[in-house]
Amino acid sequence: MHKSNVKIFRVPIPTPTLWPHSTTNSYLIGDENESILIDAGYDQKETKWVLEQSLQEFNLAIPKRILLTHAHSDHAPGVMQLADWEASVYCHQLEKEEVLKCIPTLDTLHFLEDNSRLTIGHTEINILHSPGHTAGQLNFYIPSQQILLAGDNLIENGTSWIGTPDGDISQYLQSLNRLKSLQITKVGPGHGDWIVNPYEHLEFVYNRRLQRETEIIKLLKEIGPLSSKEITTRIYQNHVHPSILNVAERTTEAHLIKLSNEGITEKDGQAYKLV
């Protein structure tokens, strides 16, 4: 195998995203001859300015391929600011509808499948369909450098929200287990700095989800039927910033859906109770 000469750069782009973050990470992979952009940030002029400054600073070619981890508004619609690059845009098939909704100017969309591969120079990028945060979430693994670009499956500070309508806790836990099996030296998260303790971080995120599930079951056992809002208030009140209580409730709902699918809880009107 040829030695990899391409470089990987994290480019934090200012976005209206969830507290405590104020930027969303894009990643540039390549050299002066060829490069790829992973995620394109929010649809605002600053997105293009930051990316083009980074291309100059790192001496990289203008990307001709843009790979989207998922279709959320802080990761995908910045593509519209980059139209003059004339780059091909890629995502997972399950993100198609949402990508086309948030990038209405897109004429053609290309799809990446699980376990497929792309190359840039002599460097191989492995495509991992890693659902959980969204149904079509993609992660990108560069085996020659043992680097994982995780999208919103992992963030540097805390844990990602996993919730309705397209999040799935069971799939998310399966994805985390799959990521644990890779040889990783560092992770590029969707938000925040490089994660340099990948296995410890993966274990923390996995255990946090199990901890929330245990807390939900304990509350229902002690108090009786509760709505997802009531459960969220009891678990998260005074522990998280008020601005993210909405996504915390959606994560609680996703846990309750998982527990209902497993026959542990059931919905009774607006409330959930133990079976």
In contact, 142 and 125? CB cutoff 8 Å: yes
Q: What are phi and psi of 22, to 5 degrees?
A: -125, 5
pLDDT by residue (tens digit) across 140-180? 999 999 999 999 999 998 888 898 888 999 999 999 999 99
Residue 148 host element (H or E):
strand 147-151
The confidence score (pLDDT) of residue 156 equals 93
Half-sphere exposure of 5 (CA within 13 A, CB side): 8
The confidence score (pLDDT) of residue 21 equals 61
The confidence score (pLDDT) of residue 2 equals 43
> How many H-runs (helices) and E-runs (strands) does the chain carry?
6, 14
The confidence score (pLDDT) of residue 197 equals 97
What residue ranges of the chain have pLDDT lower than 70? 1-4, 16-21, 238-243
> Which long-range CB contacts under 8 A does 197-201 form with residues at least 24 apart?
198/148, 201/154
Query: Which residues touch 26 (CB under 8 Å, ≥6 apart)?
Result: 10, 11, 12, 13, 37, 38, 39, 40, 41, 51, 78
The confidence score (pLDDT) of residue 17 equals 61
pLDDT by residue (tens digit) across 212-234? 999 999 999 999 999 999 999 99
Which tokens in the block code for residue 230?
Answer: 């009531």
In contact, 18 and 247? CB cutoff 8 Å: yes
Angstrom distance (rounded) from CA 122 to CA 36 = 13
In contact, 138 and 118? CB cutoff 8 Å: no
Q: What are phi and psi of 21, to 5 degrees?
A: -90, 150
Angstrom distance (rounded) from CA 70 to CA 92 = 8
